[in-house]
Amino acid sequence: MTKFEVARLSAGAPMQGTTRRVYSAVSAVVAVVALVVATTTAQVAVSAQVATAAPGDTVTAQGRLWSFGPGGGTVAGFTVYLIEYPELSAVTDSSGRWRIEAIPAGFDVTFAMDGNEVRYPIHTARFTDVDHDLTDVTFQSPAHSLIRLFETLLDVETDPSLCHIAATVTREGYSLGVGAPDGTHGEPGATVTISPTPAQGATPIYFNGSHAELIWPDRALEETTADGGVTFVNVTPGIYTLTAHKSGATIRPVTVECIAGRLVNASPPWGLQVLSGGIGPGVTVPFPESTPPGPTVTTAPSDPTIPTAAPIENTYPLPPSPVPAEPISAEPTYTG
């Protein structure tokens, strides 16, 4: 998708939420939130694995930290690190770019950014058995006020002991900044399941819209629209696999670790990517006939309370050394 604007709530309105994009609707339409990020300048490749590394070697990862908020843009001066190897980190530059070297090859990695008084903590889904360099590892950082707005639109309240998941079912050949003539890049008509079934938060919520820059979460939907966005709200922490289903289509699944008090975003081009059998590029698919669920509000409220994310702890043992005991022969996949 393209650029977005954050909508604001009045001081008297409850604030709550999770991510993707929130667009300010013109006239009397609701401020809407778009998950699974979109930006104006992002040009990301669908394949982001290059330069094969032999087991026992190290690999390099690089990407960009985007702002999920007013005017889009990127986030400078934040530390991106690996959950599995927190000593490996990099600070984003003035354009939000980061690069981390010396990552042990052949193991799982997840990239994260902690929140502060403005931004909500977020991490990618998991890359598994990584023995290639990784590029275009993108994720966005939402504001706390935007998260609250998302909650307001869904009439939910964030439980700090739970977590949120966001993903996009993306058309073959498309990514964040590459889409159809109308600006959309989602694969419509897909359903998304989560496995194993969490004790809480197992119901997917898909995104509706009027056009590419006016979208909102809609509980009435039973499948993806041209936006492709889906979210699971207040999920029991754990490790899950998201799988997208559409007749005739092959869609890459993703694995995410949902951590209390945080948002995990399986962002294109490493999300639920259609590999074949979808509608393909160049096709414009209209959104369902609908209107946003409320009036546009343009006044930003104060932000008196900032939720604190739980500390990240590994839920699986790390290797005793960065050198695998056995060669890794399987093709590495990004599960997020």
164-187 tens-digit pLDDT: 999 999 999 998 768 888 888 899
pLDDT score for 209? 81
User: Mean pLDDT lowest for which of 39-48, 72-81, 87-96?
Assistant: 39-48
- 223 vs 52, more confident: 223
pLDDT score for 142? 82
Of the candidates 300, 323, 291, the residue with the CA atom closest to the CA atom of residue 55: 323
- 70 vs 119, more confident: 119
Work out the number of other CB atoms within 10 angstroms of the CB of residue 133: 19
Structure-block tokens of residue 59: 């690999």
Question: What DSSP string describes 243-257?
Answer: EEE-TT-EE--EEEE
Instruction: Specify the CATH number of the domain 21-299.
Output: 2.60.40.10
| pLDDT above 80 for 48 | no
pLDDT score for 203? 96
Helix (H, G, I), strand (E, B) or coil at 150: helix
| pLDDT above 80 for 159 | yes
Give the span between the Cα atoms of 121 and 186, in whole angstroms. 25
User: Mean pLDDT lowest for which of 43-52, 67-76, 83-92?
Assistant: 43-52
pLDDT tens column, 207-236: 888 776 677 788 899 999 998 999 999 999
Domain boundaries, the chain: 21-299
pTM: 0.71
173 sits in the region (left: phi over 0; alpha: psi -120 to 50; else beta) called left
